[in-house]
Structure 1
Amino acid sequence: MFTLLIRTFILFIIIIITMRIMGKRQIGELQPYELVITIIISELASIPISDTKIPLVHSICPIITLILLQVILSVIQMKFDKARTLLCGKPSLLIKNGYIDIEEMKRQKLNLDDLLEELRLAGYYNLEDIEYAILETSGKLSIIPKTKLTSVTKKDLNIKVQQDILPLTLISDGKIRYKNLQSINKDMEWLKNELARKSIYSYKDVFIGIINSEGKTYFQRKN
C-alpha cells in the first residue's frame, strides 16, 4: 500500500509539471495534437498506478518524451505557417457578410442546430444579427455582430455607421500573410508605407501586424 501511495505521488508531481510546461490552457482550448498528447499522458500515468508490477520508469520515460515532443511542435508551429496549418488546422468562416456558408458547414460536419446553439450560448438569438461567425482551431466559435447592433446608442440615435471588416493578420513573426493582404486588396507598397508611418522599416522586425475591424493597422516589434 505504501509503495502504491509513493508511486501515485511521484506520478502526480510529474503530471502537474507536465501540464505547467504545456501552458495554461483549458481542455476546450487545446489544439488537436495537444489534446492527443494529454490523453496519452493520462493513460501512461494510470498504468503503473493500477499495476505495481510495472516499473515506474516505463511510464516516466514516455511522458517525458511526449512533453518534449509537445514543446518541439509548439516551437515549429510558431515559426512556420504551413506547420501551424498542418498541426492545428485553420479557422473556418461559417457566416460571412450575414450569410451561412453551407459548404463550409458540411466540411466542418456541423448542422444548423449546432450553429444556432453556439450562437445562443454566446447571447445571440437572431441569425440576422450576425455578420461573421468563425470556427476557431480550438473548436470555439468567435462571433462578430452587425456593427449597428454593437452599441444601442448608435441604432437608437439613427447614427449611420460603416460596417466593420473582418480583422486579419498581415505579419506574423516576421512573415507576411500574402493571402490576407490580397483579401483586403492591398499590396506590399501599401504595407511598407503603413510600417514606415510607425517608424518600422523592415517587416522582419515585426512580431505581429494586424488590420483591425475599423481598417486601422497595428504593429508590434519583436523586441
Structure 2
Amino acid sequence: MLITLFRTIILYVLVVAALRIMGKQQISQLQPFEFVLTLMIAELATIPMENTGIPLLKGVIPICILLFAQVTISYLSLKSQGFRKVISGTTTILIKNGVILDEALRKNRYNINDLLEQLRIKNHPNVNEIEFAYLETNGEISVIPKAKNRAIVVQDLNLTVEEVKMPITLILDGVVQSENLRTTNYDGKWLEEKLKMFNIEKTTDALIAILDTNGSFFAQSKEKNIV
C-alpha cells in the first residue's frame, strides 16, 4: 500500500512539473503536438501507477523524454518560422469581406455549421457584417467585423480619458502582500487606516484589499460586511 502511495505521489509531482514546464496555456490554446504530448504524458503516468509490477523508471524515463522533446520543439519553433509552420500550421482566412470561402472550409475540413456556431458564440451572427474571420492554428476562430459594424471606442468619440492603472492586491485572505504594498510607496500604518474605513480592525480580518484601476482603495472583511 505504501509503495503504491509513494509511486502515485512521485508520478503526480512529475506530471505537474512537466505541465508547468510546458507552459501556462489552457487546453483550448494548445497546439496539436502539445495536446498529443499532454495526453501521452498522462497515459504514461497511469501505467506504473496502476501496476506496481512495472518499474517506476519505465514511466519516468518516457515522460522525461517527451518533456525534452516538447521543450526542443518549442525552442525550434521560436527560432524558425519554417519549423513553426510545419509543426503548428498556418492561420487560414475563412471569411473575407462578408463572403465565406468554401474552398478554405473544405481544405481545413471545417463545416459551415461549426463556423456559424463559432460566429454566434463571438456575437457575430451576421456573416455579411464580418470583414475577416480567421481559423487560428489552435482551432479558434478570430473575427474582425467591418468598420461600420465594430463597437464604438473612446477614440471614435474624440474623448480624453485617464490611463488605466494596474490593480494592486494589498491583502489576500488576511495576508498582507508586502511586495505589492512596497510598490505603492505606502506602509502598513496607511493600510491599517484604510481598513478602518471599511470597519476592519486587523489585516488578518480582511478577505481582500486592493487598489483598483482608478487608484481607489477597496476592502472586504472575511465576514463579507461591505461598507
Shift of residue 105 of structure 1?
A: 0.3
Identity of aligned residues (%): 43
TM-score, normalization: structure 1? 0.67
Shift of residue 128 of structure 1?
A: 1.2
1:37 pairs with 2:37? yes
Shift of residue 29 of structure 1?
A: 0.7
State the Cα RMSD in Å. 1.8
1:119 pairs with 2:107? no
- Residues 80-159 of structure 1 correspond to what in structure 2 (within 5 A)? 80-152=80-152
Q: 2-side partners of 1:72 and 1:114: how far apart?
A: 34
Shift of residue 152 of structure 1?
A: 4.7
Q: 2-side partners of 1:151 and 1:61: how far apart?
A: 52
Paired AA for residue 116 in structure 2: L
Count of residue pairs brought into register by the alignment: 156
Runs of 4+ in 1 over 3 A off after TM superposition: none
- Residues 69-88 of structure 1 correspond to what in structure 2 (within 5 A)? 69-88=69-88
Question: How far does the alpha carbon of each residue in 1:190-221 deviate from its partner, in whole angstroms, 9 at most, with x for none?
Answer: xxxxxxxxxxxxxxxxxxxxxxxxxxxxxxxx
| Mapped contact 2:98–2:132 kept (Cα < 8 A) | yes
Partner of 1:8: 8
Partner of 1:56: 56
Return closer, same or farther for 1:48/1:111 CA change in 2, 3 Å cut-off: same
Q: 1-side partners of 2:83 and 2:152: how far apart?
A: 43
Q: 2-side partners of 1:3 and 1:151: how far apart?
A: 60
Structure 2 regions of 5+ residues with no counterpart? 158-227
Paired AA for residue 121 in structure 1: I
SS at match of 1:133: strand
Structure 1 regions of 5+ residues with no counterpart? 158-223
Higher Rg: 2
Q: 1-side partners of 2:146 and 2:32: how far apart?
A: 31
TM-score, normalization: structure 2? 0.66
SS at match of 1:132: strand
Shift of residue 148 of structure 1?
A: 1.1
Partner of 1:46: 46
Q: 1-side partners of 2:12 and 2:48: how far apart?
A: 12
Question: How far does the alpha carbon of each residue in 1:103-158 deviate from its partner, in whole angstroms, 9 at most, with x for none?
Answer: 0000111111110000001111111111100000000000001111113589xx9x
